[in-house]
Amino acid sequence: MTNIYYTELSSPIGPLTMASTEKGICNITFGSSEKMLDTLKRAWKKHEPGSKFIYDENGGWLTQGRNELNEFFHSGRRNFETALDLRGTLFQKLVWRQLQQIPYGETRSYKDVAAAIGLPKSVRAVGGANNRNPIPIIIPCHRVIGSNGALVGYGGGMNKKEILLEIEGALHKL
């Protein structure tokens, strides 16, 4: 059985619920922990049935994750160093690792990401993996845009994507 620690933090894009195992941050969800705990439990039931969810502001990697997110939002942090505990298919993990290579303040299209992982015809599959990213912001799926340069799809809502890109100074480049 895995202990999953979670906490809630406020941010310029609204409340976030962040979860961590002993291995690393495993989930960031848009919304308060009260609203998002059931979603988190359903997601983890697939990976670790019987996991124990513990509200703890400092459990696992939550302290470092919270500090780095606050620095991103308020002090210009460009890279995240906190450990991650990624759960997904091999393809999803490949895409998520590639998303982490997109520099702060820059964007890439789904087509660019597909080409970067060596599967240029997998644009739709890249979109699907992007949509299932369990750790948005730290794994910067907000930096992925349409091939025409348009802002498209974001699990947290387009307004959050715009704010994140504005924080990074990337919005004016589109």
Q: Which residues are catalytic?
A: 141
Task: Give the Cα separation of 64 and 48 in Å (integer).
Answer: 23
Distances (CA, A) of 26 to 23, 60, 62, 87, 92: 8, 10, 10, 8, 14
Q: Which residues of 6-28 are buried (b: 16+ CB within 10 A; e: fewer)?
A: bbbbebebebbbbbbbeebbbbb
Number of CB atoms found within 10 A of residue 115's CB: 17
DSSP classification of residue 79:
-
Pairing label, strands 52-55, 3-9: parallel
CB atoms within 10 A of CB 65: 27
